[in-house]
Structure formats: structure tokens, C-alpha cells
Amino acid sequence: MKRLWSLLAASVLLGALGQGPANAADQPNKIKVGILLPLTGTFAAVAETQKQGALLAVDVVNKRGGLNMPWGKVQVEGVVDDDEAKLDVGVRRYRYMMSEGVKGVGGQTWAPLAYALNAIVSKEPMPYFPVCVMAKEAFLKGKLADSTFAAAYSPWTVGYMAGQAAIKTLGKKKVFFLARSDSWGWDMEAGVKDAIKEYGGELVGRDEVSLGTGDFTTVLQKVKAAKPDVFIAAQFAADSVALLKQVSQMGLGKEMTIFNAFITNVVAKGLPPEALQGVYAMHYFYYDLSGFADKEVAKSAADFTALFQAKYGNPPDAYATIAYVAYSEMFRGFEAAKSFDAKAVSAALLANGGKFDSVKGPANWREDHSAVYKYAAWLVKGKGPGEQKNPWDLFSVVGAVGGDAVLPKLKELGY
């Protein structure tokens, strides 16, 4: 009998010893989150701003003591790595982050890698927040992982917004569109075409070039010959800088309106003022909304800009803001779920209609885990020589578009 009691006591002790570490693992006082971005290569300059936005969101949480979890405050560490905009490298480094015990991952500038990681997340749930413009296909029901939430939208929305702004706001009817030879360019072209159909424009020409194209001479001669009212281009990052410089050198802005569909301050800073002058674009977030009609959003943008500038010495760019919104929502999801479990975090984010406040105004998560913003993007116009009052005075804000209307219909995505 004595031996039996000894065995029972040992069993209870072992159980308690086993239970202690499990509880500690479930209730940590510090967690890691992954920040995986192409910090080298074509997208490096944009990725650097995304990293800044993500790390600022981490700072904000830690400066208020950490995440508010049921067992106490939890500090957050952002673990940064380079995906090099390569599928094999990105997948390998994502898996390494998982092995290191991260509680959530965000990142990507290159949409194909985001799509590949989303596929992994579908099978191995993890709170995943891509901070790029993901392919429209990624939002299809059955393809989007239950725990993937995209703080930006698809290229279709970018194209639709650009087409809408060019035709409805600027009154340009004849459109020439230059795509990129991948889902980014093709989805954007589809959005432009849908806007043309809806608002009464005409596609007078189109062409496409691959990522990394440096010489646009032949394409621009074709654009010139087509005599459009507006030339809308899908090019982004370094490609956009190369294109707009050549557009300026050929003097196309004197013959038609130039519209770079999606732009960032990084691109604008890479251009001489004469090449930026008069160029229209959609901007996910422009820091200077001082003249914008919605004063509440203008103040929110100004407060965020001051916070960002205090840390980095310059105003936030569009993709920095995407990352900041994404990681802020990841952290809100942890707190609302009172857990780091992917399923619980997803349910918490979608509760109450998915509503959340962002630095760019009110928003909500849709059924397809797209963020619906009151102001999805601002229509901006580039400032030229003599107009720029300081090194970051790059654009004037002409208008804004947003709401559910600029996103693909849920029905066509299978919902």
C-alpha cells in the first residue's frame, strides 16, 4: 500500500512538472512576431519602409507595457529577415521563423510569395498578415487561408480606382494601359477595363512588359502614336522610376495625362521634380492631408506622421502604413482573442462586423479578409520644380475613393 501511494505521488508530481512548462508556454511574458520582407533586390527600398512600419507598431505596443493578455502584459519582439523576393528563400525563411516559435508573421512586397505563404498557412494555421497588394486570385473562397488578413487590396482594386479616377474625376476618356507581365499587371488591367466599361471610357491601346524592364522606348512610341487622353501604367518601385523618367524625357506629359496607377513616396523621391510634375496616381496613404475635407482623418494622419517622424526622421510612406496597419491589427487580434491561437484570432478580428480604426480612417474586415477602408486610396498629383516646399512635399491631394464598391464583389470571389 505504501508503495502504491508512492507511485501515485510520483505520478502527480510528474504531471505537475509537465503542466508547469506547458502553462508557461501558453502564457508567455514575451513573444516573437516575424517580419519577412525583400530587403535586397528590386523591392528593397519599399521593403525598408514596410519594415519601419512593422517595427513602429511593435514599439507602440511595448511602450504601453505590452499586449494586454489575461495573464498580464506581454512584450513583443519583431524578428526581421530577408525573403529576397524569391519563392524558395521566402518559404525557407518563413519555416525557420515558425521553428523559432513566432506567434504571427507579416511581410512580403512580392505578391507571388505572399500567395505561396498563404497556401502554407491554409494547412498550418498561423496569424498571417501580408503587407503587399496580393493577387486577386488569393482572395478566392477556398484559397485564402482562414488566418490570412490583407491590410491592402488586390491589383484589380488598384486598376479599378485608377480607371475610375482618370475617367470620372479627371474626365479622360481614351485610355492606353501598360501592364506588367504577371498577376500584378493583368489584375490591374482587368480593374481598369471594368472601370472603363462602367464609366464610359475607351481602351485605345495596351501593352505589357516584364518586371525589371529598364528601357521603355518602344512602348512609349506606341503610346505616343495611339494619342490617348491618359496613359495609365502598372509599373511599381524601381520600374516606375525608370518609366516616368523616360516619359518625361520624351515629353509625353505635354500630349496626354500621365497616371502611374499606384505610387509611393520612395518612387517620387527617385524622380527629378520635372519628371514628377503633373503625374497623377493612387496613393494608399499620403502623410499630408492638411487640406483634406475630413478633418478627423487628417488629424489621425498627422498624429501617425508625427509618431513615425519622431522615430525615423521622415514622414511615413504608403507601404510603411500598410505594414503599420497590418501589425496593429495582428496585435489587436491577439488581445481581443485573449490568445495567440490562429482560429481564435481570426474570429476576434471578424467579430462586430470586423470594424476597426486605422490611421487612415474607419475600416472593417470583409468576409474575404480584405480590409474595406472609407478611404482606400487618395488621388494625388505630383509637384514639380518650385512647387515643392520641402524635400517631402511631393504631391497635392486631389480626392479619395473607397468603400466596398472599389473591391471585387464577394459573389465573384465565391462567397
Same domain, 110 and 47: yes
pLDDT digits (tens, 9 = 90+) for 101-133: 999 999 999 989 999 999 999 999 999 999 999
Same domain, 334 and 387: no
Same domain, 70 and 121: yes
Question: Is pLDDT at 12 greater than 50 in this prediction?
Answer: no
Cα angle 333-329-368, degrees, rounded to a multiple of 5: 85
Same domain, 122 and 258: no
Q: How far apart are CA 185 and CA 13, in angstroms?
A: 62
- Residue 259 falls within a domain, yes or no? yes
Q: Are strands 257-262 and 230-233 parallel, antiparallel or unpaired?
A: parallel
Q: Which of 1-5, 188-192, 204-208 has the lowest mean pLDDT?
A: 1-5
Q: What are phi and psi of 191, to 5 degrees?
A: -65, -40
- Residue 290 falls within a domain, yes or no? no
- Residue 167 falls within a domain, yes or no? yes
At 301, is the secondary structure helix, strand, or coil? helix
Q: How far apart are CA 192 and CA 161, in angstroms?
A: 8
Nearest to 76 by CA among 38, 114, 104, 112: 104
Same domain, 254 and 390: yes
Q: Which helix (H) or strand (E) holds 347?
A: helix 342-350
Q: Where are the alpha helices (DSSP H) in 82-237?
A: 87-99, 111-123, 155-164, 183-199, 217-226
Same domain, 135 and 204: no
Q: How far apart are CA 97 and CA 120, in angstroms?
A: 13
Same domain, 387 and 260: yes
What CATH number does the domain containing 52 carry? 3.40.50.2300
Same domain, 305 and 331: yes
Q: What is the mean pLDDT of residues 247-274?
A: 96
Q: How far apart are CA 88 and CA 333, in angstroms?
A: 29
Question: Is pLDDT at 329 greater than 90 in this prediction?
Answer: yes
- Residue 93 falls within a domain, yes or no? yes
- Residue 294 falls within a domain, yes or no? no
Q: What is the mean pLDDT of residues 370-394?
A: 96
Same domain, 225 and 309: no
Say what the pLDDT of residue 208 is.
97
Label residue 286 exposed, middle or buried (CB < 10 Å: 0-12, 13-18, 19+).
Answer: buried
| Domains of the chain: total | 2
Q: Which helix (H) or strand (E) holds 202?
A: strand 202-209
Q: How far apart are CA 53 and CA 49, in angstroms?
A: 6
- Residue 389 falls within a domain, yes or no? yes
Q: What is the mean pLDDT of residues 346-353?
A: 97
Same domain, 277 and 401: yes
Q: How far apart are CA 62 and CA 198, in angstroms?
A: 47
- Residue 50 falls within a domain, yes or no? yes
Say what the pLDDT of residue 15 is.
40
Question: Is pLDDT at 8 greater than 50 in this prediction?
Answer: no
Mean of the per-residue pLDDT values of the chain: 93
Domain span holding position 96? 26-152+299-373
Q: What is the mean pLDDT of residues 380-406?
A: 96
Q: What is the mean pLDDT of residues 176-190?
A: 95
Q: What is the mean pLDDT of residues 176-204?
A: 96
pLDDT digits (tens, 9 = 90+) for 287-303: 999 999 999 999 999 99
Say what the pLDDT of residue 152 is.
95
- Residue 4 falls within a domain, yes or no? no
Q: What is the mean pLDDT of residues 253-262?
A: 98
Same domain, 77 and 206: no
Same domain, 31 and 43: yes
pLDDT: is 141 or 237 the higher one?
A: 141
Report, in angstroms and rounded to the nearest whole number, the Rg of the chain calculated over CA atoms.
Answer: 23
Q: How far apart are CA 260 and CA 279, in angstroms?
A: 7
Q: How far apart are CA 75 and CA 214, in angstroms?
A: 45
